[in-house]
Amino acid sequence: MEGRGGMILKLEPQTLANEFSQLGIHPASEAIFLHKSEIVPLKILDIRTPAANIIKQEMLACGGDCAIPAGCVVCAEERVDVILLGTYKHYTRLLEKLTQMPYFGMAGIKSELMAILDAPIPQTILADGRTLNYDKMLVMGILNITPDSFYAGSRVPQLEQVVEKAGEMLRQGAAVLDIGGESTRPGSDALTADEEQKRVVPVIKALKERYPACVISIDTYRASTAEAALAAGADIINDVTAMEGDAAMSDLVVGSKVPIILMHMRGTPKNMQQNCEYKNVVTEVAAYLLQRAKVLENRGVAKEKIIFDPGIGFAKNIEQNLQLMQGLKSLTGLGYPVLLAASRKSTIGSVLGGIPAEERLEGTIAASCQAVYAGAQMVRVHDVQENLRAIRMLEAILCPSHI
């Protein structure tokens, strides 16, 4: 019988650890080979042009590559963006080179590169000391205490109905319950703080009484509402304005030691869809969220208290929302937990032929699966069980040993 010599198979990167094990290599070699197996594209923003030219040459010398703008060699622009193409081995060599170059801002580039390559697995630490671990993706269930949420299926008007709905979500595997009293759909009008608090505070108290161990996030941009919600038992603040809607919000986060979700948006829900101009939506959203995080970190707030949300549907058109979901890995590589909140949103309806919110479950599940591929830590959804089952199945396929 003729052998199979010469047959060549193409391997998926996520199968390599198992393939190395079956091949019988020395265990100490596995990490070395894995670091050589994947090209990791990195984008460095707004660096001096001489630094870009030097990095280009050093990456080539290390065996990697670097894409620079036309005209960079003759320093046509003072500052440029560059894209690095290399494995972890190439970047390790580049770091050694940068150590010997204390000029053109190289020290800052080295520091940022080290932070990216050595970023620990993110986690979120609640004020009471409990930790949200992200060894598997977590699911946040949406409970809208509003009469006008864009998806009728998420509106829960009566207190006992809210409590029962929350219990169902917890039984289905929700790690966090997100309580919102004001709709932030495009074109929506703002509530008063008093009305918002009348809606959410009794609900939070009732949920904590019935399900004391549940983790609750309060979806508000008002510091007064957030403070009342925390007093009622909420554990996380979910601020669609990234603390720009109320100057007192950062003081509350610092003082209460609760985690906050910082979301990208421009303008207000009333006018945000008139603010959709970007040169590069992924880069600009990432830069904005890092800047908002820095506001807290400068006041002593740790990364474990900050979660990023790119703000799908907030001051973005359909193409930009899709670009953000496609480029989500740019956010998940920054060292902060990332939440994707795309559930049943209008982009899904538009892509699938103009279908209403009630028919967007499958599209939502597809978005949740993309979040898994991108390495996100959490998704915010209306349908906990369906999304969680799809997520766990995809996680099992990508990493069978972690079942």
Which residues are the active-site residues?
Answer: 345, 380
State whether residue 224 is helix, strand or coil: helix
Q: Which amino acid is at 59?
A: M
CB neighbours of 347 closer than 8 A, spacing ≥ 6? 312, 313, 318, 321, 322
CB 354 within 8 A of CB 339: no
**Based on C-alpha coordinates, what's the Rg of the chain?**
23
120, with CB counted inside 10 A (0-12, 13-18, 19+), is exposed
Q: How far is the C-alpha of 126 from the C-alpha of 133, rounded, in Å?
A: 11
State whether residue 81 is helix, strand or coil: strand
26, with CB counted inside 10 A (0-12, 13-18, 19+), is exposed
